[in-house]
Amino acid sequence: MKNIVTLFLLLGLTSCQQEKIGFVNNTRLMNEYQEKIDVEASFQTKVEALGKKRDSISQAFQKEAQAFQEKAQKMSQQKAQEEYGIMQQKGQMIGQQLQQEDQQLQLSGQTEMDSIVSKVKREVKAYGEAHGYSYILGGGDGGSVLYGKESNDLTDEIVKILNDKYNE
């Protein structure tokens, strides 16, 4: 009997200690974080520059190929085939170089975005610890919060902290 009373007291005390829970809208948090916006804009500029470079190199190679075709008509068949092989190799090398640059750009962009996500997670954790939260859940697209009281939405506060730190 004594054990049952102790158990009920323990359960009563435990239920009185309410956990502090908040949530952030992950989509809004990332879309409103200025560093992420700046990184995406920089990445887009690099993608456009690479596209222009690709177009320029492709046009130059096409002109060279057209000039070769005209020149090849005046060559012996064997010489034309040798030159054609050289042109093919050159085209493959150009394609590989551009593909490599594209992969490097993608990897660099992914690394920057991973760094931003880590920074956001650290800031959410620091905010939770500083404000006594037991849990801060992620909502928005793909998040785990289907509903939350507006008063428990920490998105605006954390976006402000992130943007203030970024602007320093």
Count of domains observed in the chain: 1
What is the rounded average pLDDT for all residues in the chain? Answer: 87
Query: Which residue range is the domain that position 97 belongs to?
Result: 20-167
| Residue 6 belongs to some domain of the structure | no
* Backbone φ, ψ for residue 137 (5° rounding): -95, 160
| Residue 76 belongs to some domain of the structure | yes
What's the CATH number where 105 sits? 3.30.910.20
The pLDDT of residue 77 is: 87
**What's the whole-model pTM score?**
0.75
Task: Count CA atoms within 13 Å of residue 157 on its CB side.
Answer: 16
The pLDDT of residue 5 is: 38
Q: Are strands 21-25 and 135-139 parallel, antiparallel or unpaired?
A: parallel
| Residue 152 belongs to some domain of the structure | yes
Residues in the chain, total: 168
| Residue 2 belongs to some domain of the structure | no
| Residue 7 belongs to some domain of the structure | no
pLDDT in tens, 144-166: 888 888 899 999 999 999 999 99
The pLDDT of residue 17 is: 64
Calpha distance 131→150 (Å, rounded): 17
| Residue 75 belongs to some domain of the structure | yes
| Residue 5 belongs to some domain of the structure | no
Which stretches of the chain drop beneath a pLDDT of 70? 1-17
Closest CA to 69 of 83, 58, 52, 59: 83
Calpha distance 64→79 (Å, rounded): 17
| Residue 123 belongs to some domain of the structure | yes
